[in-house]
Structure 1
Amino acid sequence: MPPKSWLRPAATLLALATALPVLAQDNKDPAPGEWTGSAELGLAMAKGNSDSTTLVGKFNTKMQEDKWRYAFGGAFQYAEADQEETSRRYELFTTAGYSITDRSYWFSSLRNERDHYAVNEYQWTYSLGYGIDTIKNDRTKLTFEVGPGYRWSKLQDLRVHENELIARGFMDFSHQFTDTTSVYDRLLVESGSENTFIKNELGVQVSMTQALALKVGLEARHNTNTLPDTKKTDTLTTANVVYAF
């Protein structure tokens, strides 16, 4: 079991998040070629008949130029119950797109995931294809991506690799209800003959300042190929502190 010392830095990060907005009160719309993004952290602890702890974190950055668009991000999740580790997962991704028109573009995407409690210990997926911004205004954005790809994966605790062609689909939706409240929904599908992976992130974000916000989200992850005696779908509800930069 990992040491409890990680709880101290987690609490420190949460405390620092409340101070960071002072440094970024003059946020403006990003200029072309300027990187923007956000980082978030959430910690849930339960004590009583059973003790449990869950720590989650995410970060996302993006940049838009005249013809090119780039994005990079990652996420992690760690959980334990009654002093036994129950979840440890890390994920990184990067995408690049080249504009064909004002709303359509070609893209390439690379994603890596390591999960110590899934059928695959790690997997890499690469895809390329076509993307389109079907809705793009000050309040609402809706983007779709679709294309072929390839997945490299290694089975948990075995020197067995499963590599296959996949089809990738992605949807990114966001809507600004008010100046401080927004909703988002992101759907990722990576489907192959060995496994179909579906991830959906739905949430509401409420801004407290130009840099600091609170976000409540529901993440669902579905795999058609799972370990014995495990469910195909996992869900996680989070309440995170978000810092925008």
Structure 2
Amino acid sequence: MKKFWILLIVASLATAASAAEKKATKAAEKPAAKPAFATTLNAGLTMTDGNSETLAANASLVTEGEKEGLGSVRAGVEGNYGESTVNDEKETTVENAKVFANVKKTLTPRTFAVLDGSVLYDDVALVDYRVTLGPGLGVYLVKSDKHELSLEIGPSYVWEKVDGVTDDFLALRIAERGSCQITDNTKFVQSVECVPNTEDFNDYLITAEAGVETAMSERWSLRVVLQDKYDSTPAADAEHNDISLIAGVAFTL
């Protein structure tokens, strides 16, 4: 598994570098217009060796963009893997994957309708699958070229299998997302989502993320992201919190 993740990260970066080289000549011939939609490949890898061996890898592919007066889309796939070997005993510390999509339809310059969905797998947290899908309404509290802050609320239905137990229930989804262009090259992005069970508000899921991305060139960026996933009613042998600090590079395709 370790070799697979190393090869995946190296292959991703090699592919991105090759694409950048092929497009360099065209980019030099004419100024690049800012695309309505952009796809970004993110990758991070941390390894240690010695008395203990550890590996932590992250890879994601995200497409997002907006057309004025029409709406916006943010969709992608992300995977995380981590393992630790001490005294020849190997333990998987992280193994999860997520596919997500958020589609907004503009209603007025400040309001929108939204459809949000995701599929999650988390082996360490004993989540075989968790599917969430639902509509909602949202509002931009702040919206400018450099700053954006939005709120979303609506019903959501959850199908899941956790620790071998299958369940489904109606939930309420409350989400917030913001971004700030700190400098011409540095951007801060954060988001928080809470999904409580409508039958028992003590049963809820919270996902939070905050990160900083600094551009090194037109296509390459450095990024640091902190993720926190909280489950108020986890599986019997699982923790409430899963926290990840990810440092890596991003390449805009």
**The two structures share one fold, judged by TM-score above 0.5:** yes
Q: Which amino acid aligns with 1:227?
A: A
Match of 1:147 among 133, 145, 154: 154
Match of 2:179 among 174, 177, 187: 174
- Correspondences of 1:45-194 after superposition (within 5 Å): 45-65=47-67, 66-82=69-85, 83-156=90-163, 158=164, 160-192=165-197, 193=200
Confirm or deny: 8 A CA contact 2:125 2:239 kept in the other structure: no
Structure 2 CA distance, aligned partners of 1:103 and 1:227?
40
Identify if the C-alpha distance between structure 1 residues 207 and 230 changes in structure 2 by more than 3 Å, giving closer, same or farther: same
- For 1:41, the equivalent position in structure 2 comes to 43
Structure 1 CA distance, aligned partners of 2:194 and 2:82?
25
Identify if the C-alpha distance between structure 1 residues 120 and 230 changes in structure 2 by more than 3 Å, giving closer, same or farther: closer
Structure 1 CA distance, aligned partners of 2:16 and 2:209?
23
Unaligned 5+ residue runs, structure 2? none
Report the secondary structure of 2:133's partner residue.
Answer: strand
Confirm or deny: 8 A CA contact 2:124 2:238 kept in the other structure: no
Report the secondary structure of 1:37's partner residue.
Answer: strand
How far apart are 1:72 and its partner, in Å?
1.4
Offset from partner CA, 1:24-57 (integer Å, 9 cap, x none): 6554222xxx432212000011122211101111
Report the secondary structure of 2:195's partner residue.
Answer: strand
Report the secondary structure of 1:238's partner residue.
Answer: strand
Confirm or deny: 8 A CA contact 1:220 1:236 kept in the other structure: yes
Q: Which has the higher contact order (CA 8 A, sep 6+)?
A: 1
TM-score, normalization by structure 1:
0.89
Confirm or deny: 8 A CA contact 2:5 2:57 kept in the other structure: no
Match of 2:209 among 201, 206, 231: 201
Offset from partner CA, 1:68-127 (integer Å, 9 cap, x none): 432211211111111332221110111222211012111111111011122431111111
Offset from partner CA, 1:126-179 (integer Å, 9 cap, x none): 1111111211111111111111111000122x2x31111111111111111111
| Deviates most, 2-11 or 140-149 | 2-11
Q: Which amino acid aligns with 2:10?
A: A
How far apart are 1:3 and its partner, in Å?
6.0
Report the secondary structure of 1:51's partner residue.
Answer: strand
Report sequence identity in percent: 24
How far apart are 1:18 and its partner, in Å?
4.6
Q: Which amino acid aligns with 1:14?
A: L
